[in-house]
Amino acid sequence: MSDKAKGKMTVFKTDRHEDAAAMVFVSLVVAFVLVYMAYVVPTVTIKPNQDGKLIAIKVQPDQEIKKGDLIYSFEYKDKKFVNGELQEKLAIKDVLASTNGKVLSVGVKEGDALKKGKTNIIVMDHEKGTLP
Amino acid sequence: MEEKKGLAHILAIVPGLAVMVGTLYLLRTFVEPWMKDAVVFGQKGWLVQVLSLNYILLSIIAGIIYRNVFFGGKIPDWAEAGFRTTRLFIKSGVIMLGSLYTLQKLAKVGSIAILLISTFVFGTVFFVIWYGKRIGMERSMIGVMGASCGVCGVSAAVATSPGVNAKPSEVALAIATILGFGIMTMFVSPFIGKALSMSDYQFGAWVGTGILNSGQVLATCLAFNPTFAPGTAVAYGEIWNVVRVISIPFVVFIITTWACKAEAAESCATGEKMSLTKVFKDRFPIFVLGFFGMTALSSLGWLGAEGSNTLHLMRDVMSWIFGIGLVGQGAYIDFRELKRAGGKPLRVGLVAGTLKYVVALIVIMLFVSKDASF
């Protein structure tokens, strides 16, 4: 009798084996991503996490930056439910460096519109062994 | 099909897996971008914005088309082993979703999730037992339908089946009924959520309670808000989903105990004394420990800062893992099997599923605030 005929929907011996395999698989994926980002990726392009408008860029090409330094500030529409009502207001967010490194190029200027995940704000070379 | 071993077993996975990965690649690279730009009814991106079609929903649809159109109702032998990696990918995706939270955030919504899920899971199980008996459904079928409708379409049905002596065909019918019901809710829920102006928090809580399958919860949440990030529908929905998955051993215990008591003790399927500890030991879905492990790593900041390129890459990989799993999941939805299910199982599945879905919506709208918890 085939496995399918027994109602089995996994390539593993049991569901428990499948659970364990999923955990091992994710551990490998996470390890790969962390090692890749910390040691292998040559340069990092910083892009915005949401749409907005650039109001200040605080770095320039060839500048060394440290973790926590302000890179840029942008204005965005903050949408939030407050007491059951959707409120929308303009807010400003500062984006800080998550690691040490050197700015290679700046792709925007103040007043530019930022598109989530699309606009290249800066390209940087981060310190190896840290997570950009 | 003979069970292959060793390298042959691994090689047997390749063709089906290649179909799943290739399909997702085509959907993400060509189909979704085309849909974002396509003008329908004079509106650019109508397919994405109005129908909420994204690569996640398209993955499931592609799987359904493979099974029901190209494969003629049965996954062919050459692809079957590959498609059976479906749940490995879904479980891996659920584990990785743990990175969306910190322990403090989980604690904030955990108690509400536990309360709601417990009420709905066990309420549905008892309803299915009552309704199934009332319409004269076989006890074994009631058992797997109770598990499917109560807690999780696939895992719980499979986990309960030995305890209630269910036939493979009954497990397949229960799974087909619940996945079929889930497909309908996946497309309807985003419209309802938007029409009722639900917040991401309310929508995630509703879908996590009312939809019965991890992959479908994720797909529905992403159809409502396509962002993988803390504070989005998928982040809330998956907390509810994980709590539901954790309840599997309790449901297996209750249903098996009920089935054993209903029959003569000596004909009890397992032939041994039931205990919650034993069921918990045998049936606890240990992959949820991986989910909490990821949350712990996220809380310690070891996965990179929120908004960092590292987390961005991690979530991109996660979305691929889910997408591959969902192509496979679509291929487990067989319309012929659904038609065969017909009659009583279909009636029980539809009534219990709809009741849970609607009552969960009412409870969420009445008692769960729109304001996000985190």
3-class SS of residue B249: helix
Report the number of distinct structural domains present in chain B: 1
Q: How far is A9 from chain B (nearest CA, A)?
A: 6
User: Residue A98 is nearest to which of B92, B305, B371, comparing CB atoms?
Assistant: B305
Per the domain annotation, does B372 fall within a domain? no
Q: Fold for A44-126, please state it.
A: OB fold (Dihydrolipoamide Acetyltransferase, E2P) (2.40.50)
Summarize pLDDT for A76-102 with one digit per residue, the tens.
888 777 766 777 888 999 999 988 999
Q: Tokens 């967010």 label which residue?
A: A93
Per the domain annotation, does B227 fall within a domain? yes
Question: pLDDT at residue A3 above 50?
Answer: no
Contact B156, B124 (CB under 8 A): no
Q: What is the ipTM of this complex?
A: 0.85
**Strand stretches in B126-211, DSSP E:** none
With 0-12 / 13-18 / 19 or more C-beta atoms within 10 angstroms meaning exposed / middle / buried, residue A9 is: buried
Other C-beta atoms closer than 10 Å to the C-beta of B74 total 12
Summarize pLDDT for B340-369 with one digit per residue, the tens.
766 788 888 889 999 999 999 999 999 888
How many Å apart are CA B207 and CA B252, to the nearest integer?
A: 23
CA angle B122, B129, B178 (to 5 degrees): 75
Q: Where are the domains of chain A?
A: 4-40, 44-126
Residues 289-328 of B with CB under 8 A from A: 289-290, 293-294, 297, 302-305, 307-310, 313-314, 317, 321
> Is A23 in Cβ contact with B287 (below 8 Å)?
yes
> Is B294 in Cβ contact with A7 (below 8 Å)?
no
User: Residue A33 is nearest to which of B80, B88, B313, comparing CB atoms?
Assistant: B313
Per the domain annotation, does B299 fall within a domain? yes
Question: pLDDT at residue B97 above 80?
Answer: yes
Per the domain annotation, does B373 fall within a domain? no
Per the domain annotation, does B374 fall within a domain? no
Residue B116 has a pLDDT of 87
User: Residue A98 is nearest to which of B13, B285, B308, comparing CB atoms?
Assistant: B308
Tokens at B205, concatenated: 């809580």
> Is B95 in Cβ contact with A23 (below 8 Å)?
yes
**For residue B83, what are the domain limits?**
6-367
How many Å apart are CA B374 and CA A87, to the nearest integer?
A: 16
Summarize pLDDT for B318-327 with one digit per residue, the tens.
999 989 998 9
- The residues on A that touch B, with CB distances below 8 Å, are 2-12, 15-16, 18-23, 25-26, 29-30, 33-34, 36-37, 41, 44-46, 49, 80-86, 95, 98, 131-132
Per the domain annotation, does B265 fall within a domain? yes
Q: How far is B287 from chain A (nearest CA, A)?
A: 5
How many Å apart are CA B237 and CA B219, to the nearest integer?
A: 10
Per the domain annotation, does B159 fall within a domain? yes
Per the domain annotation, does B280 fall within a domain? yes
Tell me the pLDDT of chain A averaged across its residues: 87
